[in-house]
């Protein structure tokens, strides 16, 4: 599992991904860890198949017992089906996840970890040196969905927004935005169901000062590429509307 | 066969499902025995003093049918609990394997993870003991059902003897004895089959 430190200050952000031992038929995922003075926060810890690789990767950044908080942006298996294993590993931890999915996520096994349901409007989480924000991202793509914003590191962990389908071993950061678009387009058109939800999220996120946008699949965006992404996403027709347009085009052809 | 191997697990679930399905048949047979006992009681009542010896036999058969139904219900309940527990054991085994795979890749040993792994090993061992105990318990219940069936066959023999002195009612009472005998034999066959299935799991 590749480990990349994406922010180093009083606290640290790490990205994990590009697992070379990953089974070929499962999608590659990015996991994130914030370490702040002996307190660790694991974001979208990944699927059950990722756990064995994640354990040593996380242990190389912090003591496993330091993990006090976990976060699941939504309910998908590649996000959090490892919950049952983390439940054994850090039973003292709290899981922050959309309130909507509590009864569903517990199917993955959650006997020890305390589930903290994030209300629809979002909430904050205080680490020793930073107050993290859970930013609503409902219907992007899940009906109960949050992202995490760090105003000091200026990192937005953006879940499936900004995700790209990449071949194994792709670099961690976008290097050529224009070339990257084709790797994101299908994913966003199909997975994101609502233009209205998309535009509401873009308006919300444009208010934030973002240096790095960190999705759960594919490459991370930094600097001007964040704005480029928001502009591109704003112009993109997604979801049902995109399907309708496709059908209209096919009928006219 | 080990129920911790993948093939063993699949086979275990198939075998347990077969046992539960077969026992549903036993429950229906037990219902038939109870019905036969009720008929026998009615016939014996009509036969009066000529069938006096038959009445305690019908009481016994009636009781045996009721107990068999209760035992089957318990076996089914225990089998379902065992399936649930075996699934939990499988999850523990899987968690342990994934945990150990992760631990072997650590650059430096983690006392915390070693402790987590030790707990998993202990929990898994306990889960396996529970499964073994449940299997043994099911075997005992099946043995009890078998004992009931054997006793029913003996009673049907006695019932035939009593039927010979029942005059006009002899044929009816013999028919009851035959029904009970056939039902008990069928139960015995099913129980033998179920025990063989469970023995192979062990």
Q: What digits encode the pLDDT tens for the residues A46-94?
A: 999 999 999 999 999 999 999 999 999 999 999 999 999 999 999 999 9
Cβ separation B99–A84 shorter than 8 A:
no
Using the Cβ of A239 and the Cβ atoms of chain B, whether some distance falls under 8 Å is answered with no
Residue from the list B95, B98, B106 with its beta carbon closest to the beta carbon of A56 = B106
Tell me the pLDDT band of B2, cut-offs 50, 70 and 90.
very low
Enumerate the β-bridge partners of residue A40: A35, A67
pLDDT score for B70:
87
User: Does A247 score more than 70 pLDDT?
Assistant: no
Here the tokens at position B140 are 């005992």
Of all helices (H) and strands (E), which one includes residue A133?
Answer: strand A130-136
Per-position b or e across A193-230, b if 16+ CB within 10 A of its CB: bbbebbebbbeebeebebebbbbbbbbbbbeebbebbb
For residue range A108-149, list pLDDT tens digits in order.
Answer: 999 999 999 999 999 999 999 999 999 999 999 999 999 999
Determine the 3-state secondary structure of A165 from DSSP.
coil
Helix (H) or strand (E) holding A147: strand A146-150
Does residue B50 have a pLDDT over 70? yes
Are B95 and A85 inside 8 Å of each other by CB?
yes
pLDDT above 60 for A195: yes
CB A205, CB A230: distance < 8 Å: yes
A64 and B99 within 8 Å at the Cβ level: the answer is: no
B46-75: b or e for each residue (b if 16 or more CB lie within 10 Å)?
ebeebbebbeebbebbbebbeebbebbeeb
Q: What is the pLDDT of residue B156?
A: 87
CB B162 within 8 A of CB B51: yes
Residue B9 is predicted with a pLDDT of 62
The separation between CA B88 and the C-alpha centre of its own chain, rounded to angstroms, equals 22
List of chain A residues whose C-beta atoms are within 8 Å of the C-beta of residue B102:
51-56
Which residue of chain B is at minimal alpha-carbon distance from A83? Answer: B95
In whole angstroms, what is the distance from residue A9 CA to residue A223 CA?
18
């Amino acid at each position: 599992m590749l480990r990349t430190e994406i922010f180093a200050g009083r606290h640290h952000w790490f990205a994990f991904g590009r697992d070379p031992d990953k089974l070929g038929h499962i999608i590659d995922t990015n996991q994130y860890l914030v370490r702040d003075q002996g307190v660790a926060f694991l974001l979208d810890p990944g699927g059950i198949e990722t756990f064995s690789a994640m354990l040593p990767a996380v242990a190389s950044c912090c003591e496993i017992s330091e993990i006090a908080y976990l976060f699941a942006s939504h309910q998908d298996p590649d996000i959090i089906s490892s919950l049952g294993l983390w439940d054994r590993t850090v039973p003292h931890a709290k899981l922050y996840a959309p309130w909507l999915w509590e009864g569903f996520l517990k199917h993955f096994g959650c006997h020890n970890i305390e589930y903290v349901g994030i209300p629809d409007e979002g909430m904050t989480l205080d680490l020793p040196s930073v107050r993290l924000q859970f930013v609503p991202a409902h219907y992007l793509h899940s009906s109960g969905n949050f992202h995490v914003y760090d105003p000091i590191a200026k990192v937005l962990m953006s879940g499936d927004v900004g995700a790209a389908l990449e071949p194994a071993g792709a670099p961690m950061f976008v290097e050529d935005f224009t070339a990257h678009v084709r790797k994101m387009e299908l994913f966003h058109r199909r997975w994101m169901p609502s233009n209205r939800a998309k535009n509401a999220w873009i308006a919300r996120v444009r208010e934030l000062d973002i240096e790095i946008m960190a999705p759960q699949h594919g490459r991370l965006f930094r600097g001007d590429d964040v704005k480029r992404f928001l502009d591109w996403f704003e112009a993109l027709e997604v979801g049902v509307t995109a399907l309708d347009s496709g059908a209209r085009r096919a009928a006219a052809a | 066969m080990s129920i911790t191997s993948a093939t063993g697990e699949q086979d275990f679930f198939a075998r347990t499902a077969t046992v539960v399905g077969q026992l549903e048949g036993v429950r229906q047979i037990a219902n038939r025995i109870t019905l036969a006992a009720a008929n026998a009681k009615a016939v014996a009542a009509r036969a009066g003093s000529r069938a006096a010896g038959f009445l305690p036999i019908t009481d016994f058969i009636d009781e045996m049918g009721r107990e068999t139904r209760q035992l089957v219900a318990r076996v089914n309940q225990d089998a379902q609990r065992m399936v649930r527990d075996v699934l939990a054991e499988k999850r523990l085994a899987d968690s342990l394997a994934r945990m150990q795979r992760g631990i072997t890749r650590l650059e430096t040993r983690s006392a915390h993870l070693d402790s987590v792994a030790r707990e998993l090993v202990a929990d898994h061992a306990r889960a396996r003991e529970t499964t073994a105990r449940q299997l043994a318990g099911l075997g005992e219940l099946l043995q009890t059902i078998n004992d009931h069936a054997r006793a029913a066959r003996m009673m049907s023999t006695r019932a035939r003897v009593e039927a010979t002195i029942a005059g006009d009612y002899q044929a009816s009472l013999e028919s009851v004895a035959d029904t009970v005998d056939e039902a008990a034999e069928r139960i015995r066959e099913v129980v033998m089959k179920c025990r063989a299935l469970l023995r192979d799991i062990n």
